[in-house]
Structure formats: structure tokens, C-alpha cells
Homo-oligomer: A and B are copies of this chain.
Amino acid sequence: MFEAVELGHRIGAGRYARELPPLRADLIAAQLQLIRTRPFSVVIILAGMDGAGKGDSVNVLNEWLDPRHVQTYAPAESLARDGDRPPMWRYWGALPAKGEIAIFFDDLYSGPIRQRVYGHVGNSELDQALERNLRFEKMLVAEGVLVLKIWLHLSRKDQKKRFCQLEQAAATRWRVTAEDWHNHEHYQDFHRIAERALRQTSTAEAPWTLIEGSDRHYRELTLGQTLLQALRQRLEAGEARHVVNVTVPPRLPRLDDRNLLRALDLGRDLAKADYDRQLAHWQGRLSRLSRKKGFARLSLVVVFEGNDAAGKGGAIRRVTRALDARRYRVVPVGAPTDEEAARPYLWRFWRQLPTRGRLVLFDRSWYGRVLVERVEGLCEPVDWLRAYGEINDFEEQLVRHQCLVVKFWLAIDADEQLRRFRQREAVPFKQFKITAEDWRNRDRWPLYEEAVCDMVERTSSDIAPWVLVEANSKRYARIKILKTLCQRIAAALRQQRTPEAPARWSS
């Protein structure tokens, strides 16, 4: 794979001086169009061998482009605050808004490759990291992001030559470190493992571009041309996204009236005295569980979804009353801000994730995409269809990172909803809870029902199962929610005591 970039590509000073100015003019023109029209964002993943000019490439890109719209993101390998959240959290945080360019510098791939070379991880962990990158890139491409993966290469001989050159001149001596020479000794391992990694991750959506790095002129012009062509192609395509033959599978009409929701026994209820007793019991238990020492190593994401007027707010308050205000946050999910709307869908949820020892309660959530956005036609079928996979992937990353994910669907029937709507309209301080939109949603009851059933079917996993809550009785629903939370937390704490526990909790 690397043969073609160990050929000694070279471009003379004359040709470089001739070709660079028009290239720069074209590049800046393309970028200005990008900034002005904001049709998409660009992520450049830059990796390669030591000494192949990765740092220099970042510099020239910043020189050629308007650097106010280019952000370089190069995470330090160990940051205390990163360790608190799943590894991909930092890349999500660094995603550019539409019109902007981000350079992800030498970590997404070089990190895992280096760890493999030095034997800190095995092949399966390397594969896992690569798979994780691929899913991330696939999501980006599906969200319309232009993803460019560039590998700067250097043969063993050229690497040595480069280091020696830098060391000879006083002006550049500081740029070669002991680590560079140490890596050079392992060149063959880097070569072998990188080749395998690149082969595995060169996909149709986001292929690698290999560039030989030994000659500065060749490297710079090739890099510039690569970026220019990619920008132009996408700008000409307009807002049309790079969707490769996505066929939406035909949807069968349901053959009978049975479904998950209708199978629920919504008649379940609790007497007032029983409710009061159980409420105190489970709130006390939840409070004690959240103060246990082991809880400091967990984090907890709780999702509340449900029909309009199903009682999400009231249930959330019964939970938070048992918690120390310093430990939880309630995140209501409404219309996205412009910073959120300019980035891939899940960005706004990644930015809300709790650190260890904390809870975040989502009042509505990322499931909006497969519920309201699907039913109201706010996104294309291809978008909500891929959302199931992206959501499962998102939740799996949380669970792997010792984050407990608990998801509640609060179900009421149409009669109960009508009763509550009317009741809300009758009480002055509750009128705000009921809007024209709520009545409109009611008309689409069957469509929402279908969307909920699909959602549960496709996203209820054993690591993050849906809990369907019979919510015609608020008392019954609140107790079920508190009890479930306690049981899930207790199970997770027990699991901690097993050394090397797999990152899974069954419900």
C-alpha cells in the first residue's frame, strides 16, 4: 500500500513557485464560498509517519486559508477531564459548524497505532478503535460533513535523513526529540501496523489519501490540490449530500392490532397511602445509593420520553428530590440553538454528558429524531432510519465508559391524555403546558404509536433497555421509575465489585 508513496516524488523550485500562487488563489476562493454559503463543514483527519511534515502541513493550511475559519484540534493524550467521558467526547466537542474547517491532528489514528506498536494494546483493541473511527466518519459523511483523511508518508531512509537534517541546523534542532528517534527504531512496526490500519479504514465514504512527505514542494502542492478538488466538487454539488445509494426499505403495514404499547396494562394503580409509603422508601434508597462510594466511578444518563401530558416533568421532580442538587442536571430538549443546528445531530447531546459521579436527566432526548422528527417530516426517512444505528452506537459508547443508561417511555392512552389536556386547560397555572401543537400531535396518535414501537424494537438493547411505564396512574408511574432506577444503580454497583467486570448491565 505504501509502495506508491516511497517513490521519491519531487517537484522543483521553479514549478513550485509557478504553481503555488494560482493554487492559493483557488483555495481561498473556494474557502470564501464555503464561509459565505455555509453548505457543509470540513473535517481533515491528518496523520502519518513522524517527520513526514504533519506539523508543517497544519502551518501551510493556516497560511493558505483564512485561519479564522480553520481550527486545529490536537488533543493531548491524557487529560483528566477527558477521562471523565467516553473517548469520542473530545472529537464531538471539536466538530466544526457549517462553513468551518477543522483539522484533527494526528491522534484518531496515530494514537491507536502507536499504542499497538509499543504493545500497550492488542490487535482486537486496535480493531475496536478503528471500527469506532469508521462509525464516526460514516456518521459525519451522512450528516453532510466533508471528511478528508490524509496520510503523510516517509520511507525509513527518508525519515532518518529528515531527522538528521533538522538536527544539523541550529534553527531547527529543537524540533527533533528523543521520542522521534525512539519511534524511528520501531519504523518497521509502524509501517506494518499503519498499513494494516489504513487498509481497514479506507472506505467508500472516507478513503485515505496518501501523500509522500519527503519533498516539501511535492507534499504541499499535493495537499493543496487534494483539498481544493474536494472542496470544489462538494461546492458544485450544492447542498446535496454525499448519500451513496441509500435505499429506504419498504415498510410493511402492521398485520394486526397488537403492539408493545397496547399490550401494556394501563389500569395499574396505587392507593394514596401505599404511594406515600413507597415514595419515601424509594427516594430514601435512591439518595443512599447515590451517596455510595462506588457511585463516584459511575455516571448516569436517564432519558424521559412519553406521550404529551404523560407526566414526565412530575416524575423527574420525584427523582431529583432524592438527589443532591450538586450531582444532577436536568436537560430539557427543545429547539436547537444555532451552534447546535450547524453541527451533526447528536452533537448537542454529547455536550451534555455527565462526568463521573453525576447524573443527567434528559426531558426528551436524542430519540426526538425517530419520534417527532420522523412523524412531522422534519428530517428525511434516510436520516431517521440511520438514527437507530447511530443512537445504539452512542449509547454503547456511554455504557462502555461505565455510564449507566436508563430509558423510560411513559405511556398513557388517548382517553387519559384528553382528560389531562382538559384538566390543564381548566387550571390557570397549568394552561401553559397545553398548546395548539399538543392537540395537533393528538391527531397523529397512530403515527406516533408506530414510531414508538419501532423505536423500542430497534433501540432496546440489553445494555440500554427501554422501560415501558404504565402512566395512566401518575402514582404507579413514579414509583416504577424510582424503583427501576434504584435497581439499575444497585446492580451496577454490585457489578463493580467483580474485578474486570464486562461493561454491561442487564436490566
Cβ B171 vs Cβ A67 within 8 A: no
Given contacts A84-B81, A428-B25, contact A334 B68 (CB under 8 A): yes
- Max chain B Cβ within 10 angstroms of own Cβ: one of A317, A324, A326: A326
Chain B residues whose CB sits within 8 angstroms of the CB of A321 once the complex forms: 55, 59
Cβ B313 vs Cβ A21 within 8 A: no
Within 8 Å by CB of A317, from B62, B84, B281, B327, lies B62
Chain B residues whose CB sits within 8 angstroms of the CB of A106 once the complex forms: 325
Cβ A325 vs Cβ B432 within 8 A: no
Closest to A32 in B: B432
Residue A199 at the chain B interface, CB threshold 8 Å:
no
Residue A256 at the chain B interface, CB threshold 8 Å:
no
Chain B residues whose CB sits within 8 angstroms of the CB of A105 once the complex forms: 325-326
Q: Bound complex: CA of A313 vs CA of B67, how far in Å? A: 8
Chain B residues whose CB sits within 8 angstroms of the CB of A284 once the complex forms: 170-171, 173-174
Residue A239 at the chain B interface, CB threshold 8 Å:
no
Q: Bound complex: CA of A28 vs CA of B432, how far in Å? A: 8
Given contacts A74-B325, A75-B326, A317-B62, contact A174 B288 (CB under 8 A): yes
Closest approach, in angstroms, between the C-beta of A281 and any C-beta of chain B? Answer: 8
Cβ A337 vs Cβ B338 within 8 A: yes
Cβ A317 vs Cβ B59 within 8 A: yes
Given contacts A174-B287, A317-B62, contact A326 B76 (CB under 8 A): yes
Closest to A341 in B: B338
Closest to A21 in B: B429
Residue A63 at the chain B interface, CB threshold 8 Å:
yes
The A contact surface, by secondary structure, is: helix
Within 8 Å by CB of A338, from B71, B77, B338, B432, lies B338
Given contacts A67-B330, A171-B284, contact A25 B429 (CB under 8 A): yes
Cβ B67 vs Cβ A28 within 8 A: no
Given contacts A74-B325, A81-B80, A284-B171, contact A63 B428 (CB under 8 A): no
Q: Bound complex: CA of A191 vs CA of B339, how far in Å? A: 46
Closest approach, in angstroms, between the C-beta of A63 and any C-beta of chain B? Answer: 6
Closest approach, in angstroms, between the C-beta of A359 and any C-beta of chain B? Answer: 12
Residue A5 at the chain B interface, CB threshold 8 Å:
no
Q: Bound complex: CA of A41 vs CA of B316, how far in Å? A: 24
Cβ B21 vs Cβ A428 within 8 A: yes
Q: Bound complex: CA of A170 vs CA of B284, how far in Å? A: 9
Chain B residues whose CB sits within 8 angstroms of the CB of A187 once the complex forms: none
Residue A355 at the chain B interface, CB threshold 8 Å:
yes
Within 8 Å by CB of A339, from B280, B283, B320, B337, lies B337
Tell me the A residues contacting B by CB distance below 8 Å.
21-22, 24-25, 27-29, 32, 55, 58-59, 62-64, 66-69, 71-72, 74-77, 79-81, 84, 105-106, 169-175, 276-277, 279-281, 283-284, 287-288, 313, 316-317, 320-321, 324-327, 329-330, 332, 334, 337-339, 355, 363, 427-429, 431-433
Complex A-B: 15 CB contacts under 8 Å: A25-B429, A58-B325, A62-B320, A64-B429, A67-B316, A67-B330, A67-B363, A71-B329, A72-B329, A75-B326, A79-B355, A81-B84, A171-B277, A171-B283, A337-B338
9 additional contacts (CB under 8 A) given A29-B432, A171-B279, A339-B339: A21-B429, A28-B429, A64-B429, A69-B332, A72-B329, A80-B81, A105-B326, A171-B283, A338-B338
